[in-house]
Structure 1
Amino acid sequence: MSNRRILRLVVLGGLLLLLTGCNVTTPPPISEESQGFWDHFFVWPLYWLIRESSALLGDNYGLGILVATIIIRIIILPLMIKQIKSSKKMQELQPEMLKIREKYKNDPQRAQQETMLLLQKHNVNPLSGCLPILVQMPILIAFYHAIIRAPEIKDHSFLWMELGQPDPYYILPILAAVTTYLQSKVMGAAMQNSPQMQQMQLMYVLMPIMILAIAVTLPSALSLYWVYSNLFSIVQTYFLYRDKNQQSSPKGGTAK
C-alpha cells in the first residue's frame, strides 16, 4: 500500500514538472484536421468536449471544464471502483501478510514470494491502485494542450482569472492544495483500520505542498480542473466506501 502511494506521488510529480515545461515551444492550434495520434485521439476529443459543454452553458468555459471533468471522472469510475476493491482486499489480507513477513523475516525473497502467492490466491493485483493515476496522466497533458492551443479557451475570463494564465491571486492553486489534502483525509478516514495509515501521513502533507508549488505556474484552467476533480473524488470516495462499510458491518447490531 505505501509503495503504491509513493509511486503515485512520484508519477504525479513528474507529470506536473513535465507540464511546467510544455510551453517551451508553441504547438499549432488544435482543430479537427490536426494530424497525429496524440492530437487526433486525445487533444481534439477533449477540446471538443470542453467546447460543446461550454456552448450549452452560455459559452462559459469555466463551467464547460466542470462538465468535462464530471464526464471524464464518470468514464474512469470503473477503475476507481476496482482500486477501492483492491484496497479493501489488501486491507483484509494485512494480518496474513504480517504473519508471512514475521515468519520469513530473515529471508526477504521468500517473504516476497509467499506474499505474491497470497495475493494471487485472492486475485489481488498490488499495482491496480496505480491504474487510475496512470490513466489520468494523458488526460492532464491533453487538458494542457487543449487549453493553450485553443484561443477561445486560453483567452477566456472566468471569475477573476484568465484560463490560459496562472491565477494572479494564487486562489486556485491554494484550493487545489486544500482539496488534495481533504481528498487524502477522506480516503484515510475510509481506510482507518489499515495498518499502513501511519506510513501515509507524510504523503498527506507532501502531495498538497507539491500541488501548490507547481499549480502556481500552470494555466488556471488546469488548477480549475484539479479542484473540480478533487471535489468529485471526495464525494465519490465517501459514497463508495460508505457502501462498502455498510456491506461489511454485521447485521443486527454494531460489532464490539
Structure 2
Amino acid sequence: MAKINKWVKTIGFLPLFLAALAVIGIIAADQSYTGYVPGSGLWGGFVSFFIRSILGVSSWFGTSYGMGIVIFTIFIRLFILPLMVYQMDSMKKMQVLQPQLKVLQEKYAGRDTETRTLLAQEQQALYKEHGVSPFASMLPLLVQMPVLIALYQGIHNSAVLRSGSFLWLNLGKQDPYFVLPVLAALFTFGSSWLSTQANPQQNAMTKILPFIFPFIIFFTSLAVPSAVSLYWVIGNLFQMVQTFILQNPFKLKKEREEARAKEKARARKLRKATRSKKR
C-alpha cells in the first residue's frame, strides 16, 4: 500500500483522473457501437474491442472514421499519461544520479564478470535508495505497441475502416500527398528535441537521436495505411505538447542556471569569510 501511495503521489491526481476518464470514454465508445466486429481468442477479442471503440467514437461524429481515430488516439494518450509522468520523473532522478553513476563506473572499470556483477549490484542499490526505475522508459512503449499492432490489423480486418475517408485521405491506403508522414516526422522531432534539450548531460548519441527517429517514422508512414499515420500524427503532437509541459527545457535550463548562480554566490561568500578570519 505504501508503494502504491508513493506511486500515486509521484504521478499526481490530474494525470490519474484523465486516465480514468479515457478508460470510461473507450468503454463507452465500445458499448455505443451496435454493429458486429468479429474476433476470437484473447488477441482477436482485443482487436475487436479496439475497432468497436473507434467505430463507436466515429458514430459520435456522424460516422467520421478519421475523427474516431483522432479522438481514440487522444484517449490512448491520456490513458498512458500516468506512465509518461512516471517515466519523466524517473528520467529526472536518473539525471541527478549521473555523477554518482560515473563514480561507480570508474570504480568498477574492469571488464571481467566479477567486476561487472559488482557494478550492477552497486547501481541497483543506488537506484533503490533513490527510488529510481531504470526500466521506466519502457512502460509507455510496452502499452503502445499492442495498440499500434491492433490498429494495423484492425484496419485490414475491418472493411468499414478500410473504406473510410477523412479530409483528402482514404484511411485504408497511404497518404498520396505525404502530408501525414511529414507531420508525423516533424512532431516526432519536436518531442525528441525537447526531451533532449531538457537533459543537462548530453553525448553524441543523445544529440543525434532526435534526427534519427523522425526519418524512421517518415519512411514507415509512407508504407502504412493513412489510419496508422493519422494515429502517429495525433499521438506525436500530443507527446510534443506533453513533453513541453512536463519537461520544459527552457524552464529547466533557467532553474539550473539559477542553482549554479546561487552555488557560485555561496562559494564567494565562503571565500570572503575565510579571508576575513585569516586577517
The TM tier, using the shorter chain, reads 0.7 to 0.9
RMSD over aligned Cα atoms:
2.3
User: Deviation per CA, 1:167-187, whole angstroms, max 9, x where unpaired?
Assistant: 122221121111111110121
Equivalent residues, number: 220
CA distance in 2 between partners of 1:71 and 1:97 (Å):
38
Q: In percent, how many aligned pairs have the same letter?
A: 39
| Equivalent position to 2:157, from 149, 162, 165 | 149
CA distance in 1 between partners of 2:96 and 2:205 (Å):
17
3-state SS of 1:125 partner: coil
User: Do structure 1's residue 122 and structure 2's residue 94 form an aligned pair?
Assistant: no
User: Do structure 1's residue 173 and structure 2's residue 181 form an aligned pair?
Assistant: yes
| Equivalent position to 2:54, from 41, 50, 53 | 50
The residue that corresponds to 1:219 in the other structure is: 225
CA distance in 2 between partners of 1:104 and 1:150 (Å):
56
The residue that corresponds to 2:235 in the other structure is: 229
1:215 Cα deviation after fit: 1.4
1:150 Cα deviation after fit: 1.6
- Is the Cα contact below 8 Å between 2:47 and 2:153 reproduced in 1? yes
1:51-70 → structure 2 map (5 Å cutoff): 51-70=55-74
3-state SS of 2:74 partner: helix
Task: Give the 3 Å change call, closer, same or farther, for CA 160–33 of structure 1 in structure 2.
Answer: closer
3-state SS of 2:39 partner: coil
1:201 Cα deviation after fit: 2.1
User: Deviation per CA, 1:65-99, whole angstroms, max 9, x where unpaired?
Assistant: 11001111111111111111110110110111111
User: Deviation per CA, 1:38-87, whole angstroms, max 9, x where unpaired?
Assistant: 121x2122112211111111211111111001111111111111111110
User: Deviation per CA, 1:162-216, whole angstroms, max 9, x where unpaired?
Assistant: 000011222211211111111101211233x1x2454212322221111112211
CA distance in 1 between partners of 2:258 and 2:97 (Å):
22
1:130 Cα deviation after fit: 0.8
User: Deviation per CA, 1:226-250, whole angstroms, max 9, x where unpaired?
Assistant: 000001001111112249x67x959
The residue that corresponds to 1:15 in the other structure is: none
Unpaired stretches in structure 1, ≥5 consecutive residues: 1-29
**Max Rg structure:** 2
1:157 Cα deviation after fit: 1.5
User: Do structure 1's residue 79 and structure 2's residue 79 form an aligned pair?
Assistant: no
Unpaired stretches in structure 2, ≥5 consecutive residues: 1-34, 262-279
The residue that corresponds to 1:100 in the other structure is: 104
Task: Give the 3 Å change call, closer, same or farther, for CA 197–46 of structure 1 in structure 2.
Answer: farther
- Is the Cα contact below 8 Å between 1:31 and 1:44 reproduced in 2? no
Please tell me the residue identity of whatever aligns with 2:85.
I
CA distance in 1 between partners of 2:133 and 2:258 (Å):
31
Q: Which stretches of structure 1, 4 residues or more, deviate above 6 A after TM superposition?
A: none
Please tell me the residue identity of whatever aligns with 1:215.
S
3-state SS of 2:223 partner: coil
Structure number with the bigger relative contact order (C-alpha 8 A, sep ≥ 6) is 1
- Is the Cα contact below 8 Å between 2:65 and 2:161 reproduced in 1? yes
TM-score by length of 1: 0.79
TM-score by length of 2: 0.73
CA distance in 1 between partners of 2:222 and 2:37 (Å):
31
1:103 Cα deviation after fit: 2.1
Task: Give the 3 Å change call, closer, same or farther, for CA 109–85 of structure 1 in structure 2.
Answer: same
Please tell me the residue identity of whatever aligns with 1:79.
L
User: Deviation per CA, 1:88-130, whole angstroms, max 9, x where unpaired?
Assistant: 1101101111111122223444333222221122221211111
